[in-house]
Amino acid sequence: MARELPGYRDQLESVIAAFPDKECLTVRDTARYTGFTEKTAATKFPFVGHGLGRYITRTSLARTLVDVNAKNKPPSRTAQNPLLV
């Protein structure tokens, strides 16, 4: 079973606080939450559906945001040189 990435629960709580009454978010909701334009949000996140019916669940949005943050972190010193372990 896969482990949660660090920060996932905090990110999920933040998304739930922003959208307490919605389980599925539209491109517009996601753009407003992240600060991206709707066009950018539509390409950056794994929305399901077509046209105006595109949506993403709160859990998928939180997972994607945490995954992006984890990938943007600089590698640790030991990851750069495994001989430093």
Indicate the number of domains in the chain: 1
Burial class (CB in 10 A: 0-12, 13-18, 19+), 37: exposed
Query: Structural domain of residue 23, as residue ranges?
Result: 8-71
In a domain, 80, yes or no: no
pTM of this structure: 0.76
Q: Is residue 84 part of a domain?
A: no
| Residue 59 lies inside a defined structural domain of this protein | yes
Helix (H, G, I), strand (E, B) or coil at 36: coil
Closest CA relative to residue 23, chosen from 72, 75, 59, 53: 59
Residue 33 lies in a domain: yes
Q: Is residue 2 part of a domain?
A: no
User: pLDDT of 24-77, one tens digit each?
Assistant: 999 999 999 999 999 999 999 999 988 778 999 999 999 999 987 666 655 555
The reply to whether 81 falls in a domain is no
| Measured distance CA(54)–CA(32) in Å, rounded | 15
Inside any domain, residue 76: no
